[in-house]
Structure 1
């Protein structure tokens, strides 16, 4: 670690005055305002990664339940649930696996507690794990890659559903119609991200209630088609069963493990907010709708044949609904897409700032939206919804599992104590400069954890050497997280950690 050293001839107070502005860089961006920042739903949010001062903190932990519930009342859950049956599982096995795959939402809740502790975004807090410069590389992957993929996946779902509905009105172009739907939905999504935290917290409770009503109504029409005594044509056993179960778990766990950005929404809460309440609100808000509607997706798959599934889960689903409910459901899917991608675009705009690109948050949100739109248009023209969801969620585990494990380990080592001002200090020799701006423990842990996950991963595109040796049993989640967490823990206790150790 290289620290800047004051010149021998400089008096101590002069040296302190020279270093102090750099140390207060972040605070200055907030404190130079004469009035406290006001977080309103009717005003575009200009705050980015700047510190949220104590006087500007507000809200209660329970608000996070609605923030996380609205994005997860999603048609993607139907798709993921259907995948559990397509893997060859019995219905009861699929339902138990869906519950188990939702448990990682607890980890998302634990990570969220660092937001109020630091008063800044998760993409800045992770400088404690990777160093000022190393964090830019990690956020480029965990922030930008995740954001682009999830923006595309959700816009893809709304595009296909919107195209199915418009086809009934005579708009049948298989490429142009989904692209137009994508462009319209992405525009509204970016507007949500521009208005930011205040709009999200204010409107998402009503959005959640409305979505739940529609999705419950849809579920009522799915249930009569479900085969409650469903049994696979060739029941799995032995290694084949374990392969299906572990692949299914990887797909299910990918969603909660991807939300390393959960501190971004929680950072406005007062420091006095109880961590247990933050964990509970975040975890339950994400897990409950995931469990309910992923289970409905599994039930849906038991009641339709392979030919219908080949046409697409969205087509099969709309075919079960009465004429009056189908358009309502499509609108609900689009609203859900906007709520999820609005939050994703919001948090990824701060990830862009933390990388060091000199942009304010609102232009950054527009840029993120443009990139996600471009990827969605590409997917619309090249793949099906089911194929895109399964493959992308599995591949993301290589990045998200290790990153989540490192974050949790750092929280435990530091006892969730983070100094926001110090984290925003990017000057050479600052508290988190480590070794030339790089934290060796964090980066080595991320690389080794990602490698372990890749070796243990099984996808349709291929399998890692360990997964193949085990008969395509997928241990990518536990392997990647265990290796990353243990390596980070071990190296953090050595000289490689540098002076600013957890």
Structure 2
């Protein structure tokens, strides 16, 4: 079992790097209130990335009011992020360790390799990409026009600050994110105020969609929106310091609302923005359209806000990813692990800066992520329900053959089957610009990937876990 050598190794202060990784947190070290999680999740989601996704709803051919309805529906999966968070205080460790109960000691390493650091690296890149493009646009207006050098410089600076946040960890995140949320709200609400006069409230596309094409656009939009909350199966990491008797309903509400409210609001603002700009501006990038629309002083403030948001979101992502590497079994402490994850995300960002546009990168990568994130989230939520959120931290760290979560050769047939077959079902129902699954093709491009993939994974997992194959790890009393 991974435990500290002494109490000095356990630091959870805003002023000192956090040395704790996936180790169990004793009850004496627990602190905080569930409501603190609201700001932890709100700060990362007051984001220019939401503007980009909102604009996509319009480019899909939806009317403004159809886009708003799709955005509201697409934010509902934040409830899953909230449910998963309650496992953190129950087990006293990170989500990447808790999932050993679902996949087995060895199987979990395989799953975490994808849902932990790989997906986190993708989100690091997407968010750094947004700040890189906007920072480079601002610098270009100041005469620094090299389209390769300056985006890379912005990426390197932002990624360095992000890694520092991850190194200081939970204590710093908990302390400063409430202030970050307030600052970002002021900036983005000011931006919203300048956008509103340009909104075409009666916007309709030149050729309104109906029938199957309409449903195809609606379902693709929901998939794009759902991909973000479904990717946060790491939410136990930010809740694990709470006392074990913290009310689960309060944890769910603070986490889900902290993510959903700013996501829904500013994604709707992105849709509003897209109705007031030309197609040429959308093609150039929503970041360019924003800076064109704003006075110079607010443009500078927006770029600062985007960078602050990127640091807050990616700092949290890097923090969780550093523990995911430990859970995979790599013999590395959390702080060096955070630096490694940051380097991987930086490299991917630089590649994307030189090869794609922000809108293309966001849309394609978010859609493909649901092949992994949807089934993984469904399995996690189902496991919490079936176990009634009872996780024994000591058992989770028992890696011996024959231990509770060793299952069959280190693999849980129930968990591995559910996530793999759910992923296949997701892919068959997915509709992207480079891949359309067989079921989606038969439905005329309608994308039911999230819904079908999660249902298949949840049902299959529940059935198999209660069978002889999975019952060993399930407390039925």
Task: Compute the TM-score of the two structures, normalised by the length of structure 1.
Answer: 0.94
- Determine if the alignment matches structure 1 residue 367 to structure 2 residue 317: no
CA distance in 2, matches of 1:175, 1:286: 33
CA distance in 2 between partners of 1:193 and 1:144 (Å): 14
Deviations 1:204-245 (A, max 9, x none): 000000000000000011111110011111111000110000
Of 393, 415, 423, the match for 1:420: 393
Distance, in Å, in 2 between the alignment partners of 1:312 and 1:499 is 53
2:302 is the alignment partner of 1:329: yes
- 2:274 corresponds to which residue? 301
- Aligned partners of 1:230 and 1:427: how far apart in 2? 62
Instruction: Work out whether 1:401 is the aligned partner of 2:379.
Output: no
Greater radius of gyration (CA): 1
8 Å CA contact retained: 1:435, 1:498: no
Give the aligned partner of residue 121 of structure 2.
148
Residue of 287, 292, 297 corresponding to 2:260: 287
1:499 Cα offset (Å):
2.2
- Measure, in 2, the Cα distance between the counterparts of 1:386 and 1:318: 16
Q: Using the alignment, how far apart are the partners of 1:165 and 1:150 within structure 2?
A: 23
1:120 equivalent in alignment to 2:93? yes
Partner of 1:479: 452
- CA offsets per residue over residues 433-470 of structure 1, 9 Å max, x none? 11010000100001100000000000011200000000
Q: Is the 8 A contact 1:151 1:372 kept in 2?
A: yes
| Counterpart pick for 2:157 among 174, 184, 191 | 184
Verify: 1:457 aligned to 2:424, yes or no.
no
Aligned residues: 475
CA distance in 1, matches of 2:223, 2:471: 35
Specify the alignment match of 1:83 in structure 2.
Answer: 56
SS in 1 for 2:169: helix
Q: Which residue of 2 aligns with 1:21?
A: none
2:174 paired residue number: 201
Residues 1:102 and 2:53 aligned together = no
Which position in structure 1 is the counterpart of 2:349? Answer: 376
Offset of residue 168 of structure 1: 1.2
Distance 1:414 1:477 in 2: 24
Q: 1:483 to 1:295 in 2, by over 3 A?
A: same
Structure 1: distance between partners of 2:473 and 2:371: 28
Of 308, 325, 330, which residue of structure 2 is paired with 1:357? 330
Question: How far does the alpha carbon of each residue in 1:375-402 deviate from its partner, in whole angstroms, 9 at most, with x for none?
Answer: 0000000000000000000000000000
Are the counterparts in 1 of residues 382 and 462 from structure 2 also a CA contact under 8 Å?
yes
The answer on 1:258 being equivalent to 2:258 is no
Map Cα deviations across residues 97-145 of structure 1 (whole Å, 9 max, x no partner). Answer: 1111111111100000000000000000000000000000000010122
Structure 1 residues 178-200: Cα deviation after superposition (integer angstroms, max 9, x where no partner): 00100000000000000000000
Question: 1:169 deviation in Å?
Answer: 1.4
> Which residue number in structure 1 is paired with residue 312 of structure 2?
339
1:315 aligns with 2:288: yes
| 1:37 Cα deviation from its structure 2 partner | 3.2
Q: Secondary structure at the match of 1:402?
A: helix
Give the match's secondary structure for 1:328: helix
Provide the TM-score with structure 2 as the length reference: 0.98
What whole-Å deviation, never above 9, does each CA across 1:332-369 have from its counterpart, x for those lacking one?
A: 00000000000000000000000000000000000000
Query: Can you list the C-alpha shifts for 1:31-83, whole angstroms capped at 9, x where unaligned?
Result: x4156834110000000000010000000000000000000000000000000
Question: Does 2:447 align with 1:491?
Answer: no
Work out whether 1:276 is the aligned partner of 2:253: no
Which aligned pairs between 1:68-79 and structure 2 lie closer than 5 A?
68-79=41-52
**Distance in 2 separating the partners of 1:95 and 1:337:** 25
- Tell whether the 8 Å contact from 2:9 to 2:20 is kept in structure 1 after alignment: no
Please state if 1:225 is matched with 2:187.
no
Greater CA drift, 301-310 or 125-134 = 301-310
Gaps of 5+ in 1: 1-24
Structure 1 stretches of at least 4 aligned residues deviating more than 6 Å after TM superposition: none
